[in-house]
Amino acid sequence: MQIVEIILSPLLALVVGVFFLGLARKVMARIHWRYGPPLIQPVIDMIRLFYQKSVSHGRMFDVGIILSLAGSIVVILFLPFGWICPLRNSGGLLVILYVMLIAPLGIALSGGQGANPNISIGISRKLILSLGYEVPFVLVLLAVMTHYKTISIVEVVSAQQSARWSVLSLALFLPGLSYFLVLPAMLGIRPFDMASAAQEISSGPMVEYGGKYLALAMIEHAFVLFINIALFVNLFLGGAVNPATFFLKMLAVFLLGLFVHAAFPRFRVEQAVKYLWKWPTLLAFVGLIIALVTRS
């Protein structure tokens, strides 16, 4: 049974993530008052890219993208999706926190071999941005772990099942808000899409990707969407027992993020770090103190 879940859950994450990619393009088009592409346009793109020829830029160029995919898949195995959670008895928030860093690192290693100046700029922006959002993110996770006195994400979800959503509780309202504020930065959408800005640095780390490399990078992006939103839903919106309910909650969070994406222009990277270290960090820190005081 666990073997089936281990195989099933990355596939499920892939389907959900690719659906989100297609939905993003469709919803963005409707916000622009356009008709928009079909919902399966990312699938069509991926089929095309897998059939296209491509040139490798070296060993690390191949390994890095695989590494980042593998890191994402490992995180997905620890995340509950409704009752589907292959590795429910091991891991926990600390493991997730560590392994989540592998995905951007893999892209950075892969891009470093590409030897294009736009890639270097994009990667440095991405790493500075992750320096910005990791601080509030760690504080948020500390607040959650302090409040529930556990590092297991499954126990956090089950505690919310018996009580109420943690974003509605007094102690974790501010960390929840803080997580929602850093969520666009973690997803790499506007106003924090400076790392893959198509107009400034020719889509940053993606510059040299074409063919199957770009297809793998798209899959990786779908995984990143899935991981960050699923983590938010699990920690703050109560998770779910039923995968369908869980998916609906993820959809709601994703649509909210998409509206932010549609409405805002792009920050410069130092503006982004200034913002991330000010408001989300402050909220998360106050939330952590409240969680410490009220833990009894």
Partner 1 sequence: MDRNQITKWFKDPAKMANKYSLHAIYFCTGCGIIEVPPVITSRWDAERFGVIPVATPRQANLFLITGYVSVKTLRAIIRTYEQMYEPKFTVGFGSCPVNGGMYWDSYNTIKHLDKYIPIDGWIAGCMPRPEAIFVAVTHLWTLIDKGMANGYIRYRENYEAYRRNQEMALGKLEWPPLYAPDGNREEDTRE
Q: Which residues contact partner 1 (rule: CB under 8 A)?
A: 25, 29, 32-38, 41, 44-45, 47-49, 51-55, 57, 198-199, 202-203, 206-211, 214
* Burial group, residue 120, by CB count within 10 angstroms (0-12, 13-18, 19+): middle
Nearest to partner 1 of 31, 109 (CB atom):
31
Nearest to partner 1 of 34, 278 (CB atom):
34
- φ, ψ for residue 238, nearest 5 deg: 85, 5
CB of 208: closest distance to partner 1 in angstroms? 6
CB of 29: closest distance to partner 1 in angstroms? 6
CB of 194: closest distance to partner 1 in angstroms? 14
Nearest to partner 1 of 217, 235 (CB atom):
217
CB of 40: closest distance to partner 1 in angstroms? 8
CB of 121: closest distance to partner 1 in angstroms? 13
Phi-psi region of 58 (alpha: psi -120 to 50; beta: other; left: phi over 0): left
CB of 67: closest distance to partner 1 in angstroms? 20
Nearest to partner 1 of 3, 55 (CB atom):
55
Nearest to partner 1 of 48, 295 (CB atom):
48
Residues in the chain: 296
Nearest to partner 1 of 185, 218 (CB atom):
218
Sign, Cα dihedral of 124, 125, 128, 129: negative
Nearest to partner 1 of 152, 208 (CB atom):
208
Residue 269 CB contacts under 8 Å (≥ 6 apart), including other chains: 125, 128, 129, 194
Asked if omega into 10 is within 30° of 0 (cis), the reply is no
CB of 192: closest distance to partner 1 in angstroms? 18
Nearest to partner 1 of 37, 82 (CB atom):
37
CB of 193: closest distance to partner 1 in angstroms? 13
